[in-house]
Structure 1
Amino acid sequence: MTDNSESKVLSGVRVLEVAAWTFVPAAGAVLAEWGAEVIKVEPREGGDPQRGLVTSGIVSGADQVNYMIEVPNRGKKSIGIDLRTPGGREVLLELAKTADVFLTSYLPSRRKRLGFDVDDIRAVNPNIIYVRGSGHGPKGPDADRPGYDGVSYWARGGIGAMLTAATEGVKEIVRQRPAFGDLLGGMTIAGGIAAALYKRATTGEGSVVDVSLVGLAAWNLSPDIATSRMHDAAPPVTYTHADSPNPLVNNYLTSDGRYVTLMMLQLDKFFAEAMTAIGLPELVTDQRFAEQLPRYENRVELVRLIDEAFAKRTLAEWREALAPLSGAWGVVQTPAEVCDDPTTVANGYVAKTTTMNGVPFKLAVNPVQFDEQHVVPPGAPEHGQHTEEILMDAGLEWDRIQQLKDDGAVL
């Protein structure tokens, strides 16, 4: 976190996170970037299971950076606790006494079995904000079923189906990128927590906050959800690149194999300007395209002509040609290009940071900024790195800490 105190809007807020993988821990990472103290509770043996993805080969560990631990866990403190032991449960409840937020991804049956469900935590801290991130929500037949973003968000939530339907020539469902729904969900959870903190500050009452990956998917597909029952059971009309109803909302391929996206929703407003910039000024007065109705009826031909124009120039040439255009357009970039994009650099959207071992790498920070302050997060903690520090801050004597270690309750 940057040292500028004005950006630490959650300074003084303590979050106790009992969660694994990316979805819920990503919320903790956002809260840490907003200035909260986030204590990550990891299993005493092995820690967050995502730490093991490097050794299993799922995460490459390139340049000695386990990015799937760094992304959702930057800026936190880590304590290793065996929650199956009486001592471990005692430690967890002791830490909960001074927390403002209890954040978990554990399923209901496991929370009950390990003794940290809502009633357990509120028995020691009545006004705490209790936050649950889940695959399928707190109610219904699947409330206690495990879920990942690939299952609950991408598949069950309809995201994969809709993106596949919108992609031409794809014969199997489009695969999501790593933690795609998880990171959107973490940001959503963080927003819910901020609202709950405001409620508690104004009323003194804590809330139980729930965010599910299925619910997130439905929200992301709001237009599709809204129209899905408006067609008398007939499937909604879909369009391809070739017959786009608005040729100025489309992707066009350049001569060097790059795509430019045009996004000018007001076709009439931008048509003449866009055709001139693209190098087709004669189409402005062409009777096939001069008016709205014939333009729609002849849209396949219009798209074909724009395709031909784009195929004659390189991306660099198109950047120059489209620069004066007042309508919205952009280049389809790779993640590496995003890192070096002037907008990304100027606004600090991708930070240069290091792991706890000092290995440099780049990390996208959460997109919310306060007072134009850029976030530079520290790396994710090592497994159990702060166990002693956290327990001493909680008021435990060293002899008691040593006893808990000897008993296998903490790391």
Structure 2
Amino acid sequence: MQDVLAGIRVVEVAAWTFVPISGAVLAEWGADVIKIEHPQSGDPQRGLVSSGLVPGAAGVNFMFEIPNRGKRSVALDLSTDDGRELLYKLVESADVFVTNSLPDVRARLGIDVEQIRARNPNIIYVRGHGQGARGPEAGRGGFDGASFWARAGLAMTFKDPAVEWPVDQRPAFGDVLGGLTIAGGIAAAIARRERTGTPSIVDVSLLGLGLWSLGPDVTSAKLYEGVDIPSFDRDSIPNPLVGTYPTKDGRFISLVLLQADRFWPDLCAHLDRPDLLDDPRFKDGAARYENRRECIQLLRDIFRTRTYDEWCERLQTLQGVWAPLRTTLEVHDDPQVVANGYLEPIEAASGTGFVLPANPVQFDETPAA
């Protein structure tokens, strides 16, 4: 845990993942985050079957743990006067109030911005939305699979034209990115209040986040009147040194040698094919582009001569950027993941130990975990 937000108190009335995970980030940065849940029903994420994986005997609900690590929890029924009054007491000593409740729910529970600031005029008020704070659908809920992935254009952008159905997003993919975005907005609002004394209202939506994450595609779509950024099939990549190549044992290596002419000689040396430097078909970027299908096939044939592990060892001294395609199980043992503390050890209430990805922002050369 970091201490950059030590002394900052956050009151969170939020559920699911998108907004609560911002509280987890703030907690890892040292803030005191108090999560408010209903005494009986609680956060609905608690009872959700997590992405088709039912918690086993160890009882680790990872989809609840990911957005709620490091927090304190208080059970309050905000539909009652006593529950609201207890919430307001917490608000009086807080710096930040965070919610993803819909507008009508906020008004009914007495947690809209005017009601919260009536008890603490200096509090930073943070709202997470599906479609944004304004417009005809401002009061409509959203999940990342809908507002972020589907509506913002990611699903259709990632769709393979040769496949009938679009690609489904992975669990909470937009939510976790959104949580870090919200946390950044809160940090900026804290800095503004420290400098000027003005408390902000911070709004982040899944729809806006989706557009931001797809910036080049969204920008070019209008600029070129619906002409998408070209997607090349694997046999015709303009720069063959940027692509994924199969190994002898069915694994893959990714090359990202953007400055192809600069790195071509070194790559040929690592491939044990210095003769390719004298091949007129591949002498420079223009030649490799004209003969890209032959170049791509040649690289495939070469990479298929060695196993994944052999290539991982051999390419360690390659000057350009490359990476092995790892599974999510393999990343647990990645030396760089371990060295940088990117996985945070956690202990469940049952005593079961497990790990969660720490938020990627680190301060003072210290892991967030």
Normalising by structure 2, we get a TM-score of 0.96
2:156 maps to what in 1? 161
Aligned mates of 2:229, 2:368 — CA distance in 1: 43
* Higher RCO (CA 8 Å, separation ≥ 6 residues): 1
Where do 4+ consecutive residues of structure 1 move more than 3 Å?
A: 56-59, 168-171, 232-236
Aligned mates of 2:6, 2:131 — CA distance in 1: 32
Give the RMSD, CA atoms, in angstroms. Answer: 1.5
2:221 maps to what in 1? 228
Other structure's SS at 2:300 match: helix
2:287 maps to what in 1? 294
Other structure's SS at 1:210 match: strand
Q: 2:207 aligns with which of 211, 214, 223?
A: 214
Any conservation in 2 of the 1:347–1:374 contact (CA below 8 Å)? yes
2:12 maps to what in 1? 17
Q: Bigger CA drift: 255-264 or 226-235?
A: 226-235
1:132 maps to what in 2? 127
Q: CA deviation at 1:370?
A: 1.3
Q: CA deviation at 1:59?
A: 4.2
1:97 maps to what in 2? 92
2:146 maps to what in 1? 151
1:27 maps to what in 2? 22
Any conservation in 2 of the 1:365–1:375 contact (CA below 8 Å)? yes
1:60 maps to what in 2? 54
Aligned mates of 1:83, 1:212 — CA distance in 2: 24
Aligned mates of 1:184, 1:176 — CA distance in 2: 13
* CA deviation profile, 1:248-305 (whole Å, cap 9, x unmatched): 1101111111111101111111112112212332222211111332221111111011
Q: 1:248 aligns with which of 233, 237, 241?
A: 241
Q: CA deviation at 1:186?
A: 0.2
Q: Bigger CA drift: 290-299 or 32-41?
A: 290-299
Structure 2 gaps of 5+ residues are: none
2:39 maps to what in 1? 44
Aligned mates of 2:323, 2:359 — CA distance in 1: 22
Q: Structure 1 residues 308 and 58 mapped into 2: Cα distance closer, same or farther (>3 Å)?
A: closer
Any conservation in 1 of the 2:51–2:171 contact (CA below 8 Å)? no
Aligned mates of 1:57, 1:220 — CA distance in 2: 23
Q: 2:252 aligns with which of 243, 259, 263?
A: 259
What amino acid sits opposite 1:303 in the alignment?
A: I
Other structure's SS at 2:320 match: coil
Other structure's SS at 1:197 match: helix
Q: 2:326 aligns with which of 305, 330, 333?
A: 333
Any conservation in 1 of the 2:130–2:147 contact (CA below 8 Å)? yes
1:366 maps to what in 2? 359
Aligned mates of 1:147, 1:232 — CA distance in 2: 29
Q: Bigger CA drift: 342-351 or 279-288?
A: 279-288
Other structure's SS at 1:252 match: strand
Other structure's SS at 1:23 match: coil
Q: 2:69 aligns with which of 70, 74, 77?
A: 74
Other structure's SS at 1:65 match: coil
Any conservation in 2 of the 1:264–1:270 contact (CA below 8 Å)? yes
Any conservation in 1 of the 2:217–2:228 contact (CA below 8 Å)? no
What amino acid sits opposite 2:77 in the alignment?
A: D
1:386 maps to what in 2? none
Give the number of aligned pairs. 368
Q: Bigger CA drift: 251-260 or 287-296?
A: 287-296
Q: Bigger CA drift: 45-54 or 229-238?
A: 229-238
Other structure's SS at 1:20 match: coil
Any conservation in 1 of the 2:343–2:358 contact (CA below 8 Å)? yes
Any conservation in 2 of the 1:40–1:79 contact (CA below 8 Å)? yes
Other structure's SS at 2:345 match: strand
* CA deviation profile, 1:122-155 (whole Å, cap 9, x unmatched): 1111111000111111011111111000001111
Aligned mates of 1:172, 1:93 — CA distance in 2: 48
What amino acid sits opposite 1:24 in the alignment?
A: V
2:170 maps to what in 1? 177
Q: CA deviation at 1:220?
A: 0.8
Structure 1 gaps of 5+ residues are: 2-6, 377-411
Aligned mates of 1:59, 1:50 — CA distance in 2: 14
Q: CA deviation at 1:311?
A: 1.3
Q: 1:122 aligns with which of 117, 122, 130?
A: 117
Aligned mates of 2:209, 2:30 — CA distance in 1: 25
What amino acid sits opposite 2:23 in the alignment?
A: G
1:314 and 2:307 are equivalent in the alignment:
yes
Other structure's SS at 1:132 match: strand
Aligned mates of 1:174, 1:307 — CA distance in 2: 26
